[in-house]
Amino acid sequence: MENKHKSARERFIHYFSDESNRRKLAPYISILFGLLAGLILMLLIGQDPIKGYINILNGSIFKGLFEGNFRRLGGTLAIATVLTFTGLSVAFAFKTGLFNIGVGGQMLFGGFIVVLLGNVLTLPKPVHLLVIVLAAAIGGALWALVPGILKARYRISEVVTTIMMNYVAMWTVSYFVRRWIPGHYETESSMIKESASLKFELLTDLFSGSAINLSIILAGLVVVFIWYILEKTTFGYELKAVGFNPDASKYAGMKVNRNILYSMIISGAIAGLAGASYYAGYTNHVKLGVVPNFGFDGIAVALLGLNSPFGVVLSALLFGVLRTGGEYLNAMTSIPKELVDIIVGLIIYFAAATLLIQFMLTKLIKKMKKNDEKHIEEKVVE
């Protein structure tokens, strides 16, 4: 009731006096700063920033949209799907107190298993898809198992081990692909069979032949499932508790080591699904010699989504737009597509620096409150 009569200023102060509300603002400010920096950079190299951003939007959503051609949007959704998986993988690990930088490697290994089984097995499509999706999750989980064990058993920081595992994945996959499923080029595996492709005719036609595929449905299911585990089950509560304070959790009778292992396995399994989504839905083969960038993008996605499963979906969409739009930007203008990487990198940096943003806001609120008090005092004196 009272709220109605309050001025915008009072409401502003009231809202941001709450710390959790201040936290919620951080992602928006990170995005704003990131986009602003992109704008400055485009000006710096003598390009029109407005044209640049319009090209990003056109390339990722609008081009052809009004003529009934959903190809661009479909491509963006396909990339956003992969990012949802990697973002969710990072976010889940964060929520349970782990920093999984190895999502790229886990995704690569899961994807390798997918491409391998997509090449050698001959099965009816529904069975084949079920097999590769399960295999992707298992592959990713296996790759996360090593850092998980090292963390649970020896208390070794997962940060370094997951980085090392990324490169081990890169070379392991390179070896087995070239031995078992070499492609036309030295840097590629051979293509998976049609029956193992996540592309679905109805969906592809609906989006005018774009890369969108069945994994988008899978992503939706997994997001809800992870949200349910984290928010509605004792299991999820325990995982979060162990991440938040292992000693207290141990004292409360939780099995700390086992829970760390579970967290890492689940995070890895989601990363593996990203592999299925990308390698069986988008590229249909594995590229050798690189750790997919989606793992690092996943960190950005998770940070902006404040580690909540639904937040991850939203920020994955944003990054999907940036990534797909960046390719278009590269083709249409003389602005290098790395502009998008710079924006993403800056967003991560600013997200790391959220404390600064919160700090500035806290100061601002304090100042405003002080001013108000002064006004009141002056009135009283009068």
Partner 1 sequence: MLDFLNQIFPLAIAASIPIMITAIGGLFSERSGVVNIGLEGLMLVGAFTSSITIHYFDQAGNNNEYVVWIAILLAGIVSGLFAILHAYASVSLKANQVISGTAINMLATALTIFFARFLTRSQNISLLNRADRYQKIPILSDIPLIGNWLFTDIYITSFFVLLLCGIAWFIIFKTTHGLRLRSCGEYPQAADSAGINVVKLRYQAVIISGILSGFGGAIYIVTIAGEFNGSVNGFGFLALGALIFGKWKPLNIVFATFFFGFMSTFASLSFVNEVISSFRIPYQFYNALPYVMTLFALVIFSRNASAPMALGEPYDAGKR
**Which of these segments, 10-18, 210-218, 272-280, 341-349, binds partner 1 (CB under 8 A)?**
341-349
Regarding 145 and contact with partner 1 (CB under 8 A), the answer is no
* Residues β-bridged to residue 189: 182
Q: Binder to partner 1 among 131, 159, 229, 332 (CB under 8 A)?
A: 159
Q: Is residue 180 close enough to count as binding partner 1 by CB under 8 A? A: no
Burial classification of residue 227, based on how many CB atoms lie within 10 Å of its CB (0-12 exposed, 13-18 middle, 19 or more buried): middle
Question: How far apart are alpha carbons 365 and 16 in whole angstroms?
Answer: 7
Toward partner 1, which CB reaches closer, 131 or 164? 164
Q: Which of 15, 336, 375, 377 binds partner 1 (CB under 8 A)?
A: 336
Binding mask 265-304 for partner 1 (x = CB under 8 A): -------------------------------x--x---x-
Q: Is residue 171 part of the contact set for partner 1 (CB under 8 A)?
A: yes
Selected from 3, 7, 154, 381, the binder of partner 1 by CB under 8 A is 154
Q: Per CB under 8 A, which region of 65-73, 109-117, 171-179, 234-242 contacts partner 1?
A: 171-179
> Which residue is it, tokens 């009934």?
68
The binding track of 305-334 with respect to partner 1, each residue x by CB under 8 A or -, is ------------------------------
The count of other CB atoms within 10 Å of the CB of residue 279 is: 30
- In degrees, rounded to 5, the angle at the alpha carbon of residue 354 between the alpha carbons of residues 17 and 43 is 120
Smallest separation, CB 356 to partner 1 (Å): 5
Nearest distance, CB of residue 307 and partner 1, angstroms: 12
Distance of CA 234 to CAs 201, 240, 285, 323, Å?
A: 40, 10, 39, 37
The answer to whether residue 244 forms part of the interface with partner 1 (CB under 8 A) is: no
Q: Is 143 in the site for partner 1 (CB under 8 A)?
A: no
Q: How near is the Cβ of 130 to partner 1 at its closest, in Å?
A: 31
Q: Which two tokens stand for residue 267?
A: 């995070």
For the CB of residue 167, give the shortest distance to partner 1 in the complex, in Å. 5
Does 131 participate in binding partner 1 (rule CB under 8 A)? no
- Does residue number 130 form part of the binding site for partner 1 (CB under 8 A)? no
Q: Does 348 bind partner 1 (CB under 8 A)?
A: yes
Distance CA 220, CA 201 (A): 19
Q: Pick the binder of partner 1 from 39, 229, 353, 368 (CB under 8 A).
A: 353
30-69 residues near partner 1, rule: CB under 8 A: 41, 45
Q: Does 116 bind partner 1 (CB under 8 A)?
A: no
Per CB under 8 A, does 352 bind partner 1?
Answer: yes
Shortest distance, position 172 Cβ to partner 1, whole Å = 6
Q: Is the dihedral of CA 194, 266, 159, 149 positive or negative?
A: negative
How far apart (Å, rounded) are the C-alpha atoms in residues 256 and 254? 6
d(CA 333, CA 315): 26
Asked if 168 touches partner 1 (CB under 8 A), the answer is yes
For residue 255, give Cα distances in angstroms to 242, 258, 332.
9, 6, 55
User: Cβ 191 to partner 1, closest distance in Å?
Assistant: 22
Site residues (vs partner 1, CB under 8 A): 41, 45, 99, 101, 146, 150, 154-157, 159-161, 163-165, 167-168, 171-172, 174-175, 296, 299, 303, 336, 338-342, 344-346, 348-349, 351-356
